[in-house]
Structure 1
């Protein structure tokens, strides 16, 4: 029994003092991890950025640094539709990752790889942003490939 006004903080040692201990954490649901949540949010963010790039390509092609014929492949209109489509699917996959869906994790890895390759081809139009987007894509791939906390080898 503890004396009035004091609370027991954990298992007591042989000295009669109460020791601090972390409370038992509730078991997390299978398939959830901090990396998966991080990857999901970064995938949503990268998707939003790709949607913005797609809309800018469609409505303001003069926003980009190079002339339309200087892109590695395609023109600004087609790139606009590509980035818009990839961005929307990335946002959906990111939401699926946040919900712990395995299909979304696999799709997110593929979409991040596809976006990284696409940004290499679009690099001449917006070099600094292209490099940042490639780095985000690699970060998403890493976060979604890291095994879950409860995974067994």
Structure 2
């Protein structure tokens, strides 16, 4: 039983470092995605009727701010601080919500980011450094 637990903790610890790298990368890419949405509205395609429809410039600014937050918290994860783990889980959940709402504009990218955010949340909520 303890070997199974230590293997799980080892995978979670490794994935937590990976989660920090993923968060920094996703944050940078979301930042540039936001700049693209603010600078040129013709890059993205929008559907006719969408419940959560905002102006594309508004979505761009949301992604710029979210990208900076995701990257900053991802960098803080490298310190291993408890507050950084909790903040990363919260920011990843907000990123899931934002990318769900962004689905009509860039569907495959949104699904990819949602999946990566789920991996980040799993890794950070499973890893218990005191048991490793």
TM-score range, shorter chain: 0.7 to 0.9
The aligned length equals 121
Contact 1:71–1:121 (Cα < 8 Å) also in 2: no
| Mapped pair 1:114 → 2:128 | no
Cα distance between partner residues in 2 of 1:76 and 1:115? 17
Higher relative contact order (CA 8 A, sep 6+): 2
Q: CA deviation at 1:73?
A: 3.0
The TM-score normalised by the length of structure 1 is 0.71
Flag the 1:69–1:63 CA change in 2: closer, same or farther, 3 A.
farther
Unaligned runs of 5+ in 2: 1-12
Q: Which residue of 1 aligns with 2:109?
A: 129
Unaligned runs of 5+ in 1: 1-32
**Higher gyration radius (CA):** 1
**Structure having the larger proportion of residues in helix:** 2
Cα distance between partner residues in 2 of 1:64 and 1:71? 17
For the aligned residues, what is the CA RMSD?
Answer: 2.2
Once the two structures are superposed, what CA deviation does each residue of 1:109-138 show, in whole Å capped at 9, x if it has no partner? 111111111111110001111111111111
The TM-score normalised by the length of structure 2 is 0.82
Flag the 1:106–1:42 CA change in 2: closer, same or farther, 3 A.
same
Cα distance between partner residues in 2 of 1:121 and 1:94? 22
